[in-house]
Amino acid sequence: MKTYQSNEIKNIALLGNDGAGKTTLTESLLYEAGVIKRRGRITQQSTVSDYFPVEQEYGYSVFSTVFHTEWNGKKLNIIDCPGADDFAGAYITALNVTDTALLLLNGQYGVEVGTQNHFRITEKLGKPVIFLVNQLDSENCDYDAILEQLTSIYGPKVVPIQYPVKTGPEFNSLIDVLLMKKYSWGPEGGAPTIEEIPAEEMDKASVMHKALVEAAAEHDETLMEKFFESESLTEDEMREGIRKGLASRGMFPVFCVDAVRDMGVRRLMEFLGNVVPFVDEMPDVHNTRGEVVKPDSNAPTSLYFFKTAVEPHIGEVQYFKVMSGTVHEGDDMTNADRGSKERLAQLFVCAGANREKVEMLTAGDIGCTVKLKDVKTGNTLNDKTAENRFNFIKYPNPKYTRAIRAVNEQETEKMMNALNKMREEDPTWQIEQSKELKQILVHGQGEFHLRTLKWRMENNEKIQIVFDEPKIPYRETITKAARADYRHKKQSGGAGQFGEVHLIVEPYYEGMPDPDVYKFGGQEYRINVKSSETVTLEWGGKLVFINSVVGGAIDARFMPAILKGVMQRMEQGPLTGCYARDVRVIVYDGKMHPVDSNELSFMLAGRQAFAQAFKEAGPKILEPINDVEVFVPSDKLGDVMGDLQGRRAMIMGMTSENGYEKLVAKVPQKEMSNYSTALSSLTGGRASFIQKFASYELVPSDVQQQLIKAYEDSKAAEE
């Protein structure tokens, strides 16, 4: 294969909702480019994409597929991405390492929730977008309605370049208003018949052509001047204007295809090859130090590894983008993230499971390699003259959590190894061994996401697993001041144990003044602060520990032991055994014995005194609250709001955004356990949501009583 330079390389992400036909389109693109000799079919499990067993089992894409084509002296690297929001990590990664998004729409449904989600990411990353309407032969396809829908959502930047003469089963021709030609196909698709636009279509085509010329001229002053003079542009001038409009997101062209019958695909390839911006025409990337790294083949060499796939009989296949410089087969490089040395023994360019060996790749190109020792997804490899690190991919927060356990406990370690390996392939997995909840938690993007994990664990790894409902990390705190004392005394021959602690507890908040005077049971307690220690708790909140002992009632050397006893009870709250937080403890008196007092005695006394005072201090249970944003079609808004209110949600606001309603709410984490499944069911898969932890808030009193009773029952059962 020829070695392509950055001004000959185009990197494209192929996106679209589930069922839009991305995998089928990939087959047609590869077939038209001559990479494959015959087009595979999903039903026959013979496609270049979706070649992993789990994808063939479920019939939908789980992983992104990297492939390349060569077209008219240019190289197109295309990444075919999963459509389901559960596999958002794949399309977010692809958009970060490519330069243009090809956003496929199902001709039956038009703009779907996946379309909106994908477009939102392209907007955030500033990536050019080409809309591509597929399945024009569907009975329910209405191209004009889809075009109207696109324009109403994304505005006048949406500019059609093609339109079908007819849609539905009779679709076999379209009008290209850039070239002002009619394209027609026989039943098998493939090479089109190109002819003049018939008279009955000329008026419509001319109006759309003029709109396209005007849109192309807007992005170049020279072209704009010519347009004002002659109201026309040459074909090459229009391409240049469209390229600039694409690169600046000032224009979203609309194309048409029927991927199953290979109609319109060759013309799409021509447009991608001729008009889509090259790597060197896109905004520069910055390294972690904020320095610009240009796609310059003569610069120091840096590779960014964006994807790992584990394939049978091969092991880990590592996919990378050449960020700068030129990489050669056999190059020795250093891992900027891990400090290890690596040799790239082999370099490949990809077409799904097929790989073609190459000797070198230059800046902007995408390739893969195998048998690296210590490279993980997200790592950067540098040659000896480069000092780059890249960390530009930001993954979404988890939406769905389950506790996971191996049916055979002896396979737990094996299960953890498999989970960590899967996380290399999909960084949106988060694996957590929760000491607090005594569970292994898997955080993912949805039920689909976890279902594929279970299938892979049981079929590929041969480990039977069970998903359980995750426990909720409640917190305990207090709402008023209280006092207690406790004497620990033990005598059993020889040296005994003695320690007595008197203390006060109260709620802590940032900036509260030093303690002064307290009254309990008609008695006044005056506080004289001798020392104060603030402990920032790893589970959130703080503990402030104050020594106010006067007259040597407790020696200062025993204070750390008392604090240790208090911390033990903070780690296992008196109400439900959950972590306690935001408490100030004042040790103001006590007693010690000249012989029998020791650290253990004061630790036990401090622990018991704290537990007694805590229970008298208006103890409350706190629950985690999440900030939730739901994107929902207007016709489903009422159903979604009703469901949220049934989940104890507090609706914070509502706005319209690109044809969808955006609901903002605060919802208890406990109520979000099955939300992704419920939302999909309520809206027919047309809504999506994001969530993140917001704060801890008091639970309702009835919920608190249920939690306390459940904890007491479990303790009684253990005894």
- Chain segment 524-573, per-residue pLDDT in tens: 999 999 999 999 999 999 999 999 998 889 999 999 999 999 999 999 88
Q: Taking 60 as the threshold, does the pLDDT of residue 310 lie above it?
A: yes
DSSP code for 82: -
For 78-115, what is each residue's pLDDT tens digit?
999 988 888 899 999 999 999 999 999 999 999 988 89
Residue-level pLDDT at 54: 66
- Looking at the structure, tell me whether residues 559 and 640 fall in a common domain: no
CATH number of the domain residue 658 falls in: 3.30.70.240
* C-alpha torsion 375→378→379→383, nearest 10: 120
pLDDT at residue 49 greater than cutoff 70:
no
Question: For the domain that residue 200 is a member of, what is the CATH number?
Answer: 3.40.50.300
CA-to-CA distance for 177 and 215, rounded, in angstroms?
Answer: 13
* In a shared domain, residues 239 and 374: no
Lowest mean pLDDT among 37-51, 416-430, 618-632: 37-51
Instruction: Tell me: do 338 and 450 sit in the same domain.
Output: no
Burial 506-515 (b: 16+ CB within 10 A, else e): bbbeeeeeeb
| Separation between Cα atoms, residue 517 and residue 3, nearest integer Å | 80
Note the pLDDT of residue 56: 67
Per-residue pLDDT tens for 24-36? 898 888 888 887 7
Which of 246, 281, 316 terminates a domain? The answer is 281
Helix (H), strand (E) at residue 362:
strand 360-362
Is residue 579 left, alpha or beta, with left meaning phi > 0 and alpha meaning psi from -120 to 50?
beta
Among 431, 447, 471, identify where a domain stops: 471
Most distant CA pair in the chain, distance: 113
Radius of gyration of the chain (CA): 32
Phi, psi of 118 (to 5 degrees): -65, -45
315 in any annotated domain: yes
Confidence of residue 18 (pLDDT cuts 50, 70, 90): confident
In a domain, 103, yes or no: yes
Q: Under 8 Å CB-to-CB from 151, ≥6 apart: which residues?
A: 158
**Structural domain for 198, as ranges:** 6-281
| pLDDT interval class at 393 (50, 70, 90) | very high
Question: Of 242, 259, 281, which one is at a domain's C-terminal end?
Answer: 281
What's the Cα-to-Cα distance from 535 to each of 7, 248, 473, 614, rounded to whole Å? 57, 51, 20, 18
Predicted pLDDT at 365: 97
Same domain, yes or no, for 533 and 665?
no
DSSP-assigned beta bridge partners for residue 485: 502
199 with 154, same domain: the answer is yes
CATH number at residue 456: 3.30.70.870
Provide mean pLDDT across the span 269-281.
Answer: 91
Burial of 236 (0-12, 13-18, 19+ CB in 10 A): exposed
Type of residue at 157 = K
Specify burial of residue 43 (Cβ count, 10 A radius: 0-12, 13-18, 19+).
exposed
C-alpha–C-alpha distance, residues 138 and 126, integer Å = 33
* pLDDT confidence of residue 340: 93
Angle between helices 447-459 and 412-425 (to 10 degrees): 120
Residues 673-692 as b/e (b if ≥16 CB within 10 A, e otherwise) read: bebbeebbebbebbbbbbbe
292, burial (CB in 10 Å: exposed 0-12, middle 13-18, buried 19+): exposed
User: Do 32 and 179 sit in the same domain of this protein?
Assistant: yes
Calculate mean pLDDT across residues 411-437. Answer: 92
Give the mean pLDDT of 236-240: 85
Q: List, for residues 560-579, the tens digit of each pLDDT value.
A: 999 999 999 999 888 898 99
Nearest partner of 532 among 518, 554, 514, judged by Cα? 514
* Mean pLDDT of the region 441-449: 92
Considering the domain boundaries, does residue 716 fall inside one? no
679: its two tokens = 């939302």
**In a domain? residue 494:** yes
> Cα angle vertex 668, ends 665, 671, to 5°?
105
Instruction: Provide CB contacts within 8 A for 344, sequence distance 6+.
Output: 327, 328, 329, 330, 331, 333, 369, 372, 381
The total number of structural domains in the chain stands at 5
Burial class (CB in 10 A: 0-12, 13-18, 19+), 697: middle
Place of tokens 């993140």: 692
194: nearest Cα among 263, 241, 261? 263
Q: Is residue 578 part of a domain?
A: yes
In degrees and rounded to multiples of 5, residue 624 shows phi and psi of -70, 135
Whether residue 190 lies inside any domain: the answer is: yes
Task: Tell whether 417 and 560 lie within a shared domain.
Answer: no
Residue 503, token pair as written in the block: 């203390």
Q: Is 630 helix (H, G, I), strand (E, B) or coil?
A: strand
> Which two three-digit tokens encode residue 177?
């208003």
Does 270 share its domain with 363?
no
Q: State the Cα–Cα distance between residues 42 and 23, nearest whole angstrom.
A: 8
226 and 368 assigned to the same domain:
no
Through-space distance between the first and last CA atoms of the chain, rounded to whole angstroms: 73
Distances (CA, A) of 103 to 106, 216, 672: 10, 20, 31
Give a yes or no: residue 50 inside a domain.
yes
Q: Please check whether residue 714 lies inside any domain of the structure.
A: no
Residue 626 and residue 584 share a domain: no
Decide if pLDDT at 15 tops 80: yes
Helix, strand or coil for residue 677? helix
332 and 438 share a domain? no
What pTM, to 2 d.p., does this model score? 0.83
Query: Which has the higher per-residue pLDDT, 32 or 288?
Result: 288
pLDDT in tens, 174-212: 999 999 999 999 988 888 999 999 999 999 999 999 999
Q: pLDDT class for 419, splitting at 50, 70, 90?
A: very high
pLDDT of 688: 85
The per-residue pLDDT for range 633-667, each reduced to its tens digit, is 888 999 999 999 999 999 999 998 766 789 999 99
- Let me know whether 563 and 693 are in one domain: no
